[in-house]
Chain A
């Protein structure tokens, strides 16, 4: 019987939804090993978040301390590893967000654990769990075995449903030792403020590439009409047209919305790696040979500056009727 520890991600007392998908993955694992799911929640002024999380049928270990106000791997890793030892966790994981990707390998190193990142699912049988993960920009699916006693992982949130509320679990307060002077200090966070839904959580994503020539206005108008998030290819981000945070792909965000509209994006394998799990893909591109058309459900060979505004008008007219 091995327990599972999932690290929750929050900012300002608000839970990142990705955490619920990681908890669901943890529940799958616990079902396999016969263990329980524990959740580590770290920060300052966590308020009602611990109880909210416990509502998912897990035991929450809340570390509420001034030293954890701003996330730093150096401050968080020892606390997470401490909780993992305390609960006898055989598996330690989090969602594969920037937070999880930064933290979990450090926790793993601390525990002498090997780590599988961006996990898509679990294989093996019974308590002998193997991990399925993508390689080569999603061109290859690998099944890996972690040979260390404790196994660490990050899960791709789009591959697991969000955990459902269950019988309320326990909340335990964790005493945090003073870590002393850390080698890293938080200076500031420049947040990209947006009224739009978060890219990884949106029902619809409208994304633009080099073909926009820097003018994202038509795409933003379509996005706002649909309550969508806006995404971008690396080329558009590198040019400085849109925030880094909008990049979709192998080395950016992975999204799987109900509808993904790619406009002025050629469809390089590194971009496709971040959106090919979308339910319906629309491609709008001037070049009928663009690779993105091979995987799009609906391809439209057109100038995006004509087609996108026309689509906006159509949708508006449709809403009016």
Chain B
């Protein structure tokens, strides 16, 4: 059964970049910072593509943010997604508002499945999928993972970790939770958020990048969707956390042992 999949791609600071807070606490210093697709969203896009390769269907990628988020949409299209939706909004966003916007996109697109990252690595919220599922009254399978490792044969063969039931009506999802892995069946349409061990995302090929330039991207102004865009998680102030004092080196194991026993008293 072909699947129509809506997948999200948020523009975030590169996880390798050094993040510093502006002296006035109103934001972070963006000079010299690189941007890319949220790493968890790359995993979501990869999973969407694998499902499409196996079952057929369509992969629609959505991003909400300033015009520059077009770069992340093009990146997903270059990986193989079919078309994009850019919801333009310049101000601050939060999971409450983002999920309300995605709710509208869901109404418009009526996908069988929404794949999101489990967490944005800028705000570190881990909420949007859960909010969206409740807003739509759908099942949520958060922190999707799989039993096989990222070194396994199934992974080499790019098999989806999320498995469509024979009747095409539900997905079997393995979730990373405290103390192990829990497996759930979730009826379609479903909301799934992706964890790190679900797959290894592919790199875009050169032909993929060329093709992506011609794929359709619809632009929607967020204010036209009838959603209250005022943040409900309003950031009042940012600061840098206290720095940890460290840096002492010991010469050898006997010295380490002596320090841990005598000075730190932790043994």
Contact = CB atoms under 8 A, between A and B. Distances in A.
A307 interface: yes
A186 B28 CA distance: 42
B31 interface: no
Interface residues of A, number: 90
Nearest to A101: B126
B134 A298 contact: no
Interface residues of B, number: 84
Contacts of A146: 232-234
Binding site of B, secondary structure by majority: helix, strand, loop or mixed? mixed
Contact of A142 (B172, B183, B237, B259): B237
Contact of B124 (A11, A134, A147, A301): A134
A300 B250 contact: yes
18 contacts: A98-B177, A102-B142, A130-B236, A136-B124, A140-B239, A141-B238, A142-B235, A143-B235, A145-B234, A146-B233, A183-B187, A187-B184, A204-B266, A238-B196, A238-B197, A239-B151, A259-B267, A315-B267
Nearest to A134: B124
Contacts of B168: none
Interface string B178-192: 111111111100100
Contacts of A301: 249
Interface string B87-125: 000000011100100000000000000000011011111
Contacts of A116: 233
B248 interface: yes
Contacts of B181: 189-190, 244
A191 to B, nearest CB: 4
Interface in A129-150: 130, 133-148
Interface string B238-267: 111100101111101110110111001011
A267 B181 CA distance: 27
Contacts of B125: 117
A117 B256 contact: no
A140 B21 contact: yes
B138 interface: yes
B145 A244 contact: yes
